[in-house]
Amino acid sequence: MKVIQLYETRVVRHGFMLVGMSGSGKTTIANILTDALTNTGMPHKIVKMNPKAITGQEMYGVMNSVTGEWTPGVFS
């Protein structure tokens, strides 16, 4: 059931976080879904990001106040 819920979230979102207690199965569920999608001909890859390693602007992007141009971050 949790794999199906994660898949349904994946369909409507371009990114998501798995949050929960240690040993609750987050990694297992993500790996099962990734393997299942890859086996059906839709190659997928898990990318883990450490939000403490970069700033919010580097992760999400920032608007240049002088030019008004958007500079995307690594997440987008």
Helices (H) and strands (E) in the chain, counts: 3, 2
Considering the domain architecture, whether residues 72 and 58 belong to the same structural domain is answered as yes
Tell me the pLDDT tens digit for each residue of 6-61. Answer: 999 988 987 778 889 999 999 999 999 999 999 999 888 887 877 788 888 888 88
Spatial contact of 62 and 50, defined as CB atoms under 8 Å apart: no
CA–CA distance, 11 with 47 (Å, rounded to integer): 17
Considering the domain architecture, whether residues 36 and 71 belong to the same structural domain is answered as no
Considering the domain architecture, whether residues 59 and 72 belong to the same structural domain is answered as yes
CB count within 10 Å of CB 26 equals: 16
Considering the domain architecture, whether residues 41 and 53 belong to the same structural domain is answered as no
Considering the domain architecture, whether residues 30 and 62 belong to the same structural domain is answered as no
Domain count, the chain: 2
Q: What angle do CA 34, 27, 31 make, to 5 degrees?
A: 20
Considering the domain architecture, whether residues 61 and 30 belong to the same structural domain is answered as no
Considering the domain architecture, whether residues 6 and 31 belong to the same structural domain is answered as yes
Domain that holds residue 62: 49-76
CA–CA distance, 37 with 35 (Å, rounded to integer): 6
pLDDT at 32: 94
User: Model-level pTM?
Assistant: 0.64
Considering the domain architecture, whether residues 6 and 24 belong to the same structural domain is answered as yes
